[in-house]
Amino acid sequence: MSEENLSTTGDELEQAIDDATEAVHVQTGRLQELEEGAGGEPIGLDSLMNVPVQLTVQVGRTRLTLSQLVKMGPGALIPLDREAHEPADILVNGKVVARGEIVTIDERYGVRIASVVSDPRP
């Protein structure tokens, strides 16, 4: 390569760096405008207390073939993957948050929380 070509390549590289730096500066300015214009009060925990969540109590699971499933009818028993004394999983929006025991309250089922999971996982 000649000295002239190196100089041109160096100039083009410097120009590309300058253009990239300017683009980042412009984007940063836009972000600051968004932050300043956001306004309003920050969302506190109290604001979220009325957000509905889905709570599910899972007693157990099993896997069946389609053939086994279609043969079932009233009175069929489905064995689950848990012992009768094991706690049921309590899920909030699909994540296990606690474990508890199944109880009856009047003529309905309920769950008594036995432990809270410290690291909720799906």
Residue 7: the pLDDT is 53
Residue 45: the pLDDT is 83
DSSP string, 30-73: HHHHHHHHH-SPPPPHHHHTT----EEEE-------HHHHHT--
Q: Which CATH number fits domain 52-121: 3.30.1280.10, 1.10.10.60, 2.30.330.10, 3.30.70.360?
A: 2.30.330.10
What pTM, to 2 d.p., does this model score? 0.57
pLDDT tens-digit map of 43-78: 788 888 889 999 999 999 999 999 999 999 999 999
Domain ranges of the chain: 1-48, 52-121
Residue 11: the pLDDT is 79
Run means of pLDDT, 10 residues per run, the chain, 122 residues: 55 80 65 59 81 93 94 94 93 93 94 88 56
Say which residues have a Cβ less than 8 Å from residue 112's Cβ, sequence separation at least 6: 100, 101, 103
